[in-house]
Structure 1
Amino acid sequence: MPTLAAILPAERNNFGLIRLLAASSVVISHAYIIVRGDGAVEPLEALTGISLGQHAVNVFFFTSGLLVAASLARSRSIGDFALARFLRICPGLMVCLAVCAFVVGPLATTLAPARYLTDGAVYLWLLVTGSLLHITMALPGVFEHAPYPDVVDLPLWTLKYEIACYVLLGLAGVTGLVRRGARFWAIYAGLVVVYAATLVFPELTFGIVAVQHMLHLAVLFGLGVAAYRLREGLPLSWFWLAVCLAIYAAAYSGPLRPLATALLTGYATLILAALPLGALAHPFRCIDLSYGIYIYGWPTQQLIIDKLPGSSIAEVAIIALAIAGCLAFLSWTFVEKPMLAFRHKPLPSVRRLAAAIGRTAGTGAMAHLGKPGASGSS
């Protein structure tokens, strides 16, 4: 019965493949609403209450909590950790937004190319969408008549919650909350209780969707952090997976099903990560296409349905996965991987800034997480 610690080294796990499958699942799930419009029932939605894409997002946030906790443990300072998080998310995102604005936009807009490119709304879209505060702003004349109109890149909605989780984890590291085991577990238990209370009494969130999303995704991210803390003694066995499944079955008809889903998703992800898949998983330990497929999948699908109206769900999904996969490979090769390497040899000014932030916040504050065993693109 291996423990989580035994599979954390990159060459011993399948996290890269799992994240690739999760990103692909988001594309497949979104093909339904891309073709049929908002309100279309996506895969697994009728059976589990959430779509295949939402299950995939759950997997992303759990694995992110686990791998980013390992990244925090590896970091020399909080400045180094912050730089790593910035380089993982922002460069790839900025290039994707530029592709959407200056490649997808001109191909899909109903305006003349010159008029489109000189429209100030294009550059405002870059600013507003890049801030991640409002990701449903439309580009001028782009996807106006699509079944799911106007929205250029819907999956970006999760990124602000991902970044919020990074910030919270960084603060926990700086203040010593992660180091003090009892406090960490008390705070995480409190978060779970609050989330459970909002599931039983939805009026507690006052109908604010952002609060609902933040609680749900923070619980999943925190579950990944908790798994990393328990890595030395966390067994990975089919017995405990069956226990998680039984808990899910017991909660299936009640308001706490999302909480049981989070537990089952997290543990099932660890079991899948431990399977001896050999050569099948090996390429994705070196190449991470998940982020690229996730952020390029939606605009690719929107462009397909714009240029090939009447395409079936399967056609949109298959073509989009092929194109988004190519774009993801280019993004990883020429943007994401080089920028991640830049973390280890930044410009002197950036290095000095990171060191200054680290001294201010407490250099070495992350050492309490223990000797890291995980590696990878996170």
Structure 2
Amino acid sequence: MWADPLFGANHFTLLRWGLALGVVVGHAWLIPTGYEPTRIHDWTLSYLAVNGFFILSGLLIAKSLEMRKDVKGYARSRLLRIYPALIVLMLALLFFFGPAFSNPGGIRYLVDSEPWTYVLRVLLMGDPLSAPGGVFGMSSDPVFNGALWTIRYEMLAYVLAGIGFFSGFLKNRWRVLTSLLISQLFYLVLQHASILNDAPDGVVALFRFTTAFLLGMTLWHFPVLRRAGWLSICVAIGSFLLLGRTPIGETLANITLAAGLMHFGLVRSASRTIATMPDYSYGIYIWHYPVLQSVLLLNPDMHPVALLAVSAPPVILAAAASWHVIEKPALQLKKRRRTTGRLGER
């Protein structure tokens, strides 16, 4: 009888590390040159890695909703997973990155209203793509953190998944599959129909991430799809390589990502070392951009390979501190509250 590895030890944490590092590699080229050479067809490594995050998130959130069935616990879990580390990052902007990498910088940065407005906007899941108070203003890519823009879509996905589940709509696997197909259709239309070329970027991104997230939820509802063998992976890769430049290129890329994540994440015999490794992926994701920017401003002529090599240690150190000092204690807080009966099981 087949034992579903999703309910035991798995290698998803290692894969999240890989996805986060894929984003770092892409941005190490994008920031100084404006171009990512790490791509297949027109799909860059960082772009596909973010899609992979949403696929995994959809699977694990669907599992969490089905197994726990606690709306308050679910809401607290999502907030505690995202906000503590994000708040610390915003404090780092105000008290380190801003004063050190803006002009005139120093204490004057703290009396400027723009950084404080930016912090409030980010924490309220508004647009983070700016350089508040001129931080990193001399960079070729004058943005404080070009990775944060996806977090609001992640939070929106959490909210919509929770509403869909607790209303009963997303408990039915055929409704989930239908929702995926409808979202995919709308996304294709928004991307390729000439009459909709002026569709707001936010709307296009919404359907991009909704489609990836629903693909993950579909994997939860159809366990057979999680048993991706080498044949399935080879067919998916071949299809993507052959048709990646067509309108269904991203669809095939997502299917390939899903197959790979399931095959390498849900292994029959998980390594204990890999299954219990700390999850630095969120820390890597939210800290790498300002670290890359800082290193590049200190060394403006640095080649992307050197930028990546020099930035990797501080990025990992920041992610480690984020996990061990902020994120993990927040997760343990949820567990402690569950044991006292004040919080439902996650």
Q: Calculate the TM-score normalised by the size of structure 1.
A: 0.84
Residue in 2 that maps onto 1:314:
305
What is the aligned partner in structure 1 of residue 17 from structure 2?
20
Q: Does 1:162 align with 2:154?
A: yes
* Paired letter, 1:134: D
| Corresponding residue SS for 1:318 | helix
Q: 2:89 matched to which residue of 1?
A: 96
The answer to whether the 8 Å contact 1:30/1:42 transfers is no
2:229 corresponds in structure 1 to 237
Contact kept, 8 Å, 1:62 with 1:224, in 2: the verdict is yes
| TM-score (structure 2 length as normaliser) | 0.91
CA deviation vs aligned residue, 1:207-238 (integer Å, no higher than 9, x gap):
21111111111111111111111125642211
SS at match of 1:287: coil
Check 1:71–1:25 CA distance in 2 against 1; reply closer, same or farther (3 A cut).
same
Whether 1:131 and 2:124 are equivalent positions in the alignment is: yes
Work out which of the residue numbers 216, 226, 229 in structure 2 matches 1:224.
216
User: 1:347–1:138: structure 2 CA closer, same or farther, 3 Å change rule?
Assistant: farther
Give the SS at the match of 1:338. Answer: helix
- Asked if structure 2 preserves the Cα contact closer than 8 Å seen for 1:65 and 1:224, the reply is yes
The CA deviation string for residues 292-348 of structure 1, in whole angstroms up to 9 with x for no partner, is 000000000000011122111112112222111111111111111111121233499
Partner of residue 368, structure 1: none
The amino acid across from 2:38 in the alignment is P
Query: Does the CA contact (< 8 Å) of 1:31 and 1:317 recur in 2?
Result: yes
Q: Give the CA deviation at 1:24.
A: 1.0
In the superposition, relative to structure 1, how do residues 307 and 234 fare at CA in structure 2: closer, same or farther (>3 Å)?
closer
The residue aligned with 1:33 is 30
Give the percent of matched residue pairs that are identical in Structure 1 and Structure 2.
25
Cα drift, residue 180 of structure 1: 2.5
**2:37 alignment partner in structure 1:** 42
> What is the CA deviation profile of residues 157-209 of structure 1, one whole-angstrom value per residue up to 9, with x for unaligned ones?
10011111111110111111122233332222222222233344153364211
Q: Is the 8 A contact 2:99 2:108 kept in 1?
A: no
Select between 230-239 and 205-214 the one with higher mean Cα deviation.
Answer: 230-239
By relative contact order (CA 8 Å, sep 6+), the higher-ranking structure is: 1
Contact 1:109 1:140 in 2 (8 A): yes
CA-CA distance at 1:284 after TM superposition: 5.9
Report the CA distance between 1:248 and its aligned residue: 2.3
| Structure 1 range deviating more: 75-84 or 241-250 | 241-250
Gap change, CA 1:154 and 1:233, over 3 Å in 2: closer
What SS class does the counterpart of residue 333 from structure 1 fall into? helix
Tell me whether 1:7 sits opposite 2:14 in the alignment: no
Match for residue 320 of structure 2 among 309, 320, 329:
329
Distance 1:184 1:141, change over 3 A: closer
Q: Using a 3 Å threshold, how does the CA distance of structure 1 residues 50 and 253 change in structure 2: closer, same or farther?
A: closer
Distance in structure 2 (CA, Å) of the matches to 1:304 and 1:84: 34
* Shift in alpha-carbon separation, 1:197–1:250, aligned structure 2, 3 A: farther
Moved more, 16-25 or 268-277: 268-277
- Worse overlay, 226-235 or 165-174: 226-235
Aligned-partner SS, 2:136: coil
Q: What CA distance in whole angstroms lies between the structure 1 residues aligned with 2:280 and 2:300?
A: 28
For the pair 1:213 / 2:205, whether they are aligned, the reply is: yes
* Structure 1 residues without counterparts, runs of 5 or longer: 356-363, 365-377
The answer (yes or no) to whether the contact 2:226–2:259 under 8 Å persists in 1 is: no
Matches of 1:290 and 1:101, distance apart in 2: 23
Q: Distance in 2 between matches of 1:238 and 1:276?
A: 14
Q: Which runs of 5+ in 2 are unaligned?
A: none
Q: Report 1:281-320 matches (<5 A).
A: 282-283=273-274, 285-320=276-311
Of 139-148 and 208-217, deviating more is: 139-148
Partner-residue secondary structure (3-state), 1:172: helix
Q: Do structure 1's residue 141 and structure 2's residue 134 form an aligned pair? A: yes
Q: CA deviation at 1:263?
A: 1.0
In the alignment, is the contact (CA less than 8 A) between 1:205 and 1:212 conserved in 2? no
SS at match of 2:223: coil
| Other-structure match for 1:119 | 112
For residue 10 of structure 1, report the CA deviation from its aligned partner: 4.8
Amino acid aligned to 1:334? V
- Report the counterpart of residue 259 of structure 1 in structure 2: 251
When residues 193 and 33 of structure 1 are mapped into structure 2, their CA distance, relative to the original with a 3 A threshold, is: closer
Q: Distance in 1 between matches of 2:336 and 2:316?
A: 29
Aligned residues: 346
Distance across 1 between alignment mates of 2:113 and 2:124 = 17
1:250 deviation in Å? Answer: 4.8
Distance 1:118 1:208, change over 3 A: same
User: What secondary structure, in the 3-state scheme, does the structure 1 residue paired with 2:22 have?
Assistant: helix
Q: Once the 2 structures are TM-superposed, how far is the Cα of residue 249 of structure 1 from its aligned partner?
A: 4.0
Give the alignment's Cα RMSD to 1 decimal. Answer: 2.6
Q: Is the 8 A contact 2:147 2:286 kept in 1?
A: yes
Counterpart contact for 1:200–1:256, Cα < 8 Å: no
